[in-house]
Amino acid sequence: MLWVMLTFRTALTASVLAVVVLPATAAAASTADPATVRDIAESALAAVTAEDALVREIGTLPAPPPGDLSDRLRQVDGQGYAALQQFDQLDIELSGAVRAALDRLPPRGEGFPPATAVYDSAIGDLARIAATPEAVLPRKGGSGPALGLLAVTAVSLLVLGAAALGNTLRKRESDDDLAAMAWSDGLTGLANRRRLDHDVASHDDADVSVAVIMVDVDHFKTVNDSFGHQEGDEVLRRVGTMLTDNVRFDDVVYRYGGEEFCILLPGATGDDALSVARRIVEAAPAIVLPDGTNVTVSVGVAHDQGQSMAASFESADRALLAAKSAGRNQAFDAADLELPPRPQTLASFAG
């Protein structure tokens, strides 16, 4: 991953320098004052660079970020969004990476921040705008981008594609693809089973260890029977929020089906995954039912580094069953269990 990112930044820097050297065809130019465009670009560049650093720092934390980090992230996010609005007021054409990086971050649990590669591309694009503000184009009325702009865009897209290979679990598709695949669960807003199938398939092509956590809401049928399905749906939504509040920044939470959830933890060690699982078990009772009782969950954890995702799902699922059989409201690590093999394939989890 490190060599990919270093290669990405090196190539991106070269592409930014290239746009200054390559001749530009002034077929169309923005009517905005170049000095104004440069000021906005420099402000946006500072905001995106700071946001990228904060997102990376928060991603290393084993627990939700402290208040000061969250406040700083909200501040730079707001600065970036203000710059985006200024660009739009001037009708400046921006790359998709720049727009994604400057746009508002989704609330925690309701989406994901841009991938590292997107931030890298946005930083390069903004550096190019700051270096040559007279070359930017309006979104309307232009007859085509300058040659230098085409060159830097082509290089950035090629390198962005290479960098994305190391970040498959956070890979972002086009808006049309996301809409077509319907990757969000309608009830909880979490990633759904189809998204899980996609991410598992992506992982099969990547050299990244991924831990798996399976979560089941204890006695959920009783919740529906006692309080009705509307209350049951509300419990599932609150469990989904609880899960996203207690995972690491890069982890992805999925609604697996019914009252069962799944979490993929890219790059996590066995200890990392077990720590997240225990935090989830401890947090669940904060969800209180109408009769004053507390929600509990059973959790299974697996970390099969170097083995297939099918093996990880198999182990996590059986660890979950062991946790339920032992009395529920606890997390079991598959590594601590004697689990005899049983025939099961990934197709069992993708059906």
Q: Kindly report, residue by residue over 261-299, the tens digit of the pLDDT.
A: 999 998 888 999 999 999 999 999 999 999 999 999 999
Superfamily of 180-350 according to CATH: Reverse transcriptase/Diguanylate cyclase domain (3.30.70.270)
> Which residue, chain included where needed, has tokens 């739009």?
88
Confidence of residue 310 (pLDDT cuts 50, 70, 90): confident
Residue 345: pLDDT above 70?
no
Report CA-CA distances (Å) from 242 to 218, 233, 247, 320, 329: 15, 14, 9, 18, 15
Confidence of residue 111 (pLDDT cuts 50, 70, 90): low
Cβ neighbours for 150, distance < 8 A, ≥ 6 positions apart: none
Report CA-CA distances (Å) from 56 to 60, 97, 258, 339: 7, 17, 33, 37
Residue 15: pLDDT above 60?
no
pLDDT score of 147:
35
Amino acid 61 reads L
The residues annotated as belonging to the active site are: 259
Average pLDDT over residues 110-131: 80
Domain positions in the chain: 2-172, 180-350
**Percent of all residues in the chain with a pLDDT value above 90, rounded to a whole number:** 32
Confidence of residue 113 (pLDDT cuts 50, 70, 90): confident
Instruction: Determine the distance from the C-alpha atom of residue 80 to the mean position of all C-alpha atoms in its chain, rounded to a whole number.
Output: 19
Q: Kindly report, residue by residue over 172-212, the tens digit of the pLDDT.
A: 444 544 443 467 888 888 888 888 888 888 776 666 789 99
pLDDT score of 184:
81
3-state secondary structure (DSSP) of residue 193: helix
> Which residue, chain included where needed, has tokens 């490190």?
2
3-state secondary structure (DSSP) of residue 208: coil
